Chain A
Amino acid sequence: MSFLDFLRTHQSDLMQRSFEHVALCAVTLASSVLIAVPGGIVLTRLPRASSLVMAAASVIQTVPSLALLGLLMVLTGQIGYTPSIVALFLYSLLPILRNTYTGIEQTPKPVQQAALALGMTPWQVLWEVSFPLAMPVIVAGLRTAAILVIGIATLCAFIGAGGLGVFINRGLETVNPNLVMLGVVPVALMALAADGALAWLGRKLSPPQ
């Protein structure tokens, strides 16, 4: 059976797994943005805490994905969605946190100084100057996180969270290349699409200069 024929016969299955995969990634990235962007901003005001938090986030990134999933399964006492989302969230935290932090910190010193000297409040400097100027860097962090999460989410099938990883697992177990491809191709396309969309968003949100 050719891959295209195989694809046709597994259409509804593919739709369902793709949806699961997207849902997993979207929930993760949304919560990560909600936590890491404000977190990164707060860290710019807490120079001492910032190096500690960054170090912790970096350590999490070095833990192998499967090990982290296993660990969280034990810690949460659950399988499926909860440990998967927690793991993916932890992975995506660092790029967004780090980029938000550096983006805000990178506000040119003369610009920052002029803003304060002309009577902007620190809050106005952050919101009207530093944040818009940091936007491209923040979106770049989100882009890294998105690609990371879309890839690692395939492993979540191991602990029963569904998604496109299910095809890959099953295909590997039954030595069925078509089944493996059914998982790999959409994941790759998804990563490319996310990358392109976020690159566009980055340009869109970049301040004009």
Chain B
Amino acid sequence: MPDSAAPESTGAIEFRGVSKRFPGGTLALDGLTLSVAPGELVALLGSSGSGKTTALKLINRMEEPGAGEILIDGQNTAQMDPIALRRSIGYVIQEGGLFPHWTVEENVGLVPRLLGWETSRIAARVKDVMALAQVPHEEFGARYSSTLSGGQRQRVAIARALAAESRMLLLDEPFSALDPITREALHAEVKALVARLGVTTVLVTHDVEEAFKLAQRVALMDKGRLIQFGTPEALLLRPAHEYTRRFFEGRAHDLKLRYLVLARVAPYLEPADPEGRAVETIDGGRSPETALGQMLESGAEFFAVRTSGGAAGPFRIRDLWRSLKEGSA
């Protein structure tokens, strides 16, 4: 199946010194340089007016740059046909933007139809992609969007965005209108789905938690400029800029907890287990937060930790504090 793995490494997105000024005179983007590797999930994080949505729209030429260039797989998008370019890139917006007068099935089949696929191929692909997005065709295919819940609509929108076997996916705050429980579920699903398909994904969000949970790398933006681009851990632990520090400030408590999610248990092990009475075991690759959860649940004070080198340990409550302290230092 074409979507099980990328036939070749395609879907690299690169911004080279891109600026964009709106007719009113506001500088929406100021010399943005950033590259997204094939198959990577990058979040553009920032408050409103940071330029993150403009950056996203420049990728599929819903906006045109004032200066600089955007490359896809090394090729300047300015030389591509914008319509063909858009059909090759999946796109999901906040409210889904499903066509209310079309069935779910027709919505999902849109881009393959625009591309002129044969009817039978469209039907098969629509079924596959709806299964992937967890809106089974048998149940949802003939329905209209007005009968769907918010979460179901976004799932359909994601299926529609992936239907034409796109190598790239643009997500413009697709989770922000959802209730917290649905949002959690969709976060996990989308992360797993794009990882499985190897689709290069750019996510625009103002939600730190969301960016950190989903993205391999986060681009923090402010007033059209890229402030810092790196892994969530790097942004959190090694803020390279005053703005980064301030952006996370006042959420110190949250941040510590977040670090517990990001970190791994393994580095905080003590050399040996002196008393040899570990009541629980945990994998070295799990996060301190998981360990904390298990401790709270079982009442255990420490774990024997399994690492690739065999059993080691223990990991204790105080190591948890140590991971926190180092994490937020």
Q: A residues touching B (Cβ–Cβ < 8 Å)?
A: 108, 110-121, 124, 129, 132-133, 207-209
Residues of A within 8 A of B160 (CB): 118
Cα(A24)–Cα(B292), bound, Å = 84
1/0 per residue B112-154: CB within 8 Å of A? 0010000000000000000000000000000011100000000
Residues of A within 8 A of B110 (CB): 118, 120
Q: Are B98 and A208 in contact (CB under 8 A)?
A: no
Interface SS, A side: helix
Cα(A118)–Cα(B98), bound, Å = 11
With contacts A121-B83, A209-B144 taken as known, whether A111 is within 8 angstroms of B62 at the C-beta atoms is no
Q: Are B87 and A110 in contact (CB under 8 A)?
A: no
Q: Give which listed residue, A112, A119, A132, A133, contacts B87 with CB less than 8 A.
A: A119
Cα(A114)–Cα(B170), bound, Å = 11
Residues of A within 8 A of B111 (CB): 118-119
Q: Are A110 and B144 in contact (CB under 8 A)?
A: no
Q: Are B91 and A133 in contact (CB under 8 A)?
A: no
Most chain B beta-carbon neighbours within 10 Å: one of A117, A120, A133, A208: A117
Cα(A138)–Cα(B170), bound, Å = 35
Residues of A within 8 A of B144 (CB): 208-209
- A-B contacts, 10 listed (Cβ < 8 Å): A110-B94, A110-B97, A111-B98, A113-B62, A113-B97, A116-B62, A119-B84, A119-B87, A133-B101, A209-B101
Closest 4 CB pairs of A and B: A114-B97, A207-B101, A119-B87, A119-B86
| B299 CB-CB contact with A under 8 Å | no
With contacts A121-B83, A132-B101, A133-B101 taken as known, whether A114 is within 8 angstroms of B96 at the C-beta atoms is yes
Residues of B within 8 A of A120 (CB): 110, 114
Q: What is the total of A-B residue contacts with beta carbons within 8 Å?
A: 66
Residues of B within 8 A of A115 (CB): 97, 99
- Chain B residues 66 to 121 lying within 8 A of chain A, measured CB to CB, are 83-88, 91, 93-101, 110-111, 114
Chain B interface: which size bin? 20 to 34
Residues of B within 8 A of A118 (CB): 86-87, 91, 110-111, 114, 160-161
| B60 CB-CB contact with A under 8 Å | yes
Q: Are B86 and A116 in contact (CB under 8 A)?
A: yes
Residues of B within 8 A of A116 (CB): 62, 86
Q: Are B101 and A117 in contact (CB under 8 A)?
A: no
Residues of A within 8 A of B99 (CB): 111, 114-115, 129
Residues of B within 8 A of A133 (CB): 100-101
Q: Are B101 and A114 in contact (CB under 8 A)?
A: no
Q: Give which listed residue, A108, A117, A129, A209, contacts B62 with CB less than 8 A.
A: A117
Residues of B within 8 A of A209 (CB): 100-101, 144-146
Q: Say how far B203's CB is from chain A's closest CB, in angstroms.
A: 15
Cα(A209)–Cα(B99), bound, Å = 9
